[in-house]
Chains A and B, each alone.
Chain A
Amino acid sequence: MLTYVARRLLYVVITMFAVSLITFALIFASGDPAVALTPVRPGQQPSKELTERIRVKYGLDQPIPVQYVRYMGNILRGDLGESFYFHRPVAELLIERFPKTAQLAILILITSLLIGIPLGVITALKKNSVFDRIVTISSVAIISVPSFLVAVLLLYVFAFKLEWLPNGGTGTWKHLVLPVLSMALPMGVAYGIFLRTNMLNAVSADYARTARAKGLDATRTNLKHILPNALIPIVTLAGIDLAYLLTGVVLIETVFGIPGIGIAITRAATQRDIPVIMGSVFIGAIFIGIMNLIADIIVARLDPRVRLGDR
């Protein structure tokens, strides 16, 4: 188990190298960072001279491979560099902002499972009932709508019309309800539909028939025998969804004005603030790597056929 975790963490490090290379290449492929960093007065042409000075100042005049090696060297020494734009150490920026993003992402994931699992179980047990039909149809509607639109709709109803919840910012748990729901709702109903399908497919499974032949009623067969099997792919899916979740959180932070890493990375991307982009991507990769590891450990707990550390 310990060697397994150690090896998986090693994979995370390898992934980070790959991610850093790709990100670095993409930054330079998408335009000249020095130009993007040059301040422009309204109505004037950007000063060529200033651009060149900025280029030299940040070492952007060096060949790209040299820049990359220098940057990675600093990383290995624990130095994430300083933001071109905020003029603050990137590490400080990440420590300040990332916990908010991580909290939001984890809350969204947990909430979506708390919505999806009961929904899937009940709709599977009450297949073709009025409840099932209403849930299934509205789920499809919710999934089809982009999550920022869900966010805007929730804001409109609960913050502006009913005034039950704040319309943005951070501080209390009330500030978290709408941001979390605006992503957890579509994700949760998707899990619900997936779980429902899994459970209904498993009704004709051999082991389910055995459970009935033993004398268990249909409901207990569903809950005790089918559900644990049907949950396994849901957990795997949730682990994979994390990547999607992090990009979604960027939007949610913007809509609700939450000063997490999402806002920082969008701003950094438009400004070609390389140290911030790289730092954010790194911390995102680490987060996804660790969460995937946790998901795999949970799957191994649920499914005795999965042995951690084999191979």
Chain B
Amino acid sequence: MTFTYIPGDQPEILSVRGLKTHFFTEEGVVKAVDGVDLTLHRGEVLGVVGESGCGKSVTSLSIMRLVGPPGRIVAGEIKFNGEDLLALSDRDMNRLRGDRITMIFQQPQTSLNPVYSTGNQVAEVFQIHTGAKGKSALAKAVELFKQVGIPDPNKKVNAYPHEMSGGQAQRVMIAMGLAMSPEILIADEPTTALDVTIQAQILDLIRTMRNQLNTAVILITHELGVIAEIADTVAVMYAGQIVEEAGVEDLFEQPLHPYTQGLLGALPVIGKHTEKLAVIPGSVPDLVNLPPGCRFADRCAQRELHDLTICTEQAPELIPQGNNHRVRCWLYT
């Protein structure tokens, strides 16, 4: 069975509006996430892409409500099937986590507890959410190990994290994430720490699982290759905000935001010889003292080219550009 995600065909299951997550540090308030809107439909793979420090991980942790001090969600709403997650009690949120919304992380080996066997850690999900006891929970873990393609699952459930390769450990994490057939799986850089060949396998596994369970996936990455491989829709983040969102083909064919264009330009193209890869000059603005205008303005070649002054004075909004394509840039007003 293959599943193709058709936009507009599927019900909306997650809607993030005006999310602001700030970190209250000695140096000042770090506005890591500063007004993010996201919409996710059943079975959709939403790729969130951006440089490190752009707020993509903090956005996902905010959805899980796992941002710890000194960070705090200061504004916005996160609606899951119409229910505001930010208004839930801690107890109800615990029930939801690992059951209906799950998350996997970048470093699979350190994300597993070194003192428990991997099977034990997967079985724990069943113990928490179904009340299954030791033996039957472990039997289910064996079943899951098989599903995520871990060889010799009966034996491997007894293996400890340090006895597994990164790829296998990430499969264990995925087994954990998919144990309860969640509605949303958040994958935060799931392939970054892995070898290229293993990366493809893990992405393939995530796609297969999405097809089987109709789970929506939020995939956080800084690699456009990963996005091209698996995402249905893409949100590009820059300095705590989404600067562009579109269907994956749309975005790659017709990137509108100068930052997105820069990211795509920095990708090497096979067969095309260039002296140097294009780079975006400058660096990300200080998240404590953000500029009043567009956050990308002082790195933006388009601004200089078109000699725009509004860019440094006034912050642009996300503007619709037809066909589910939106961009935060003064060029398109």
Contacts and interface: CB of A to CB of B under 8 A. Distances in A.
A228 B96 CA distance: 26
A203 B117 CA distance: 20
A216 B129 CA distance: 9
B113 A204 contact: no
Interface stretch (B104-112, B214-222, B230-238, B296-304): B104-112
Contact of B162 (A213, A229, A304): A304
B95 A213 contact: no
A217 B94 contact: yes
A310 interface: no
Contact of B115 (A204, A214, A217, A304): A304
A215 interface: yes
Given A203-B68, A207-B111, A207-B112, A213 B94 contact: no
B107 A215 contact: no
A149 interface: no
B64 interface: yes
B266 interface: no
Interface in A198-212: 203-207, 209-212
B138 to A, nearest CB: 16
A211 B98 CA distance: 9
Nearest to B68: A204
A96 interface: no
A209 B105 contact: yes
A118 B102 CA distance: 32
B90 A217 contact: yes
B160 A213 contact: no
How many of chain A's residues touch chain B, expressed as a range?
Answer: 20 to 34
Contact of B107 (A206, A214, A228, A302): A206
B111 A214 contact: no
Interface in A201-252: 203-207, 209-217, 225, 228-229
Interface residues of B, number: 32
Contacts of A210: 105, 111-113, 121, 173, 176
B114 A305 contact: yes
A303 interface: yes
B111 A215 contact: no
Contacts of B173: 210
B125 interface: yes
Contacts of A304: 114-115, 117, 160, 162
Contact of A213 (B64, B90, B107, B116): B64
Given A203-B68, A204-B68, A210-B105, A215 B96 contact: yes
B110 A214 contact: no
Contacts of B105: 206, 209-210, 213
B66 A303 contact: no
Contacts of A302: 115
Contacts of B128: 214-216
Given A214-B97, A229-B114, 7 more contacts: A204-B68, A205-B110, A212-B66, A214-B124, A214-B125, A215-B97, A304-B117
27 contacts: A206-B107, A206-B111, A207-B111, A210-B105, A210-B111, A210-B112, A210-B113, A210-B121, A210-B176, A213-B66, A213-B102, A213-B103, A214-B102, A214-B124, A214-B125, A214-B176, A215-B96, A215-B97, A216-B128, A217-B90, A225-B113, A229-B113, A304-B114, A304-B160, A304-B162, A305-B160, A305-B162
Interface of A: 203-207, 209-217, 225, 228-229, 302-305
Nearest first, the 5 A-B pairs at minimum CB distance are A215-B98, A214-B98, A207-B113, A206-B110, A206-B111
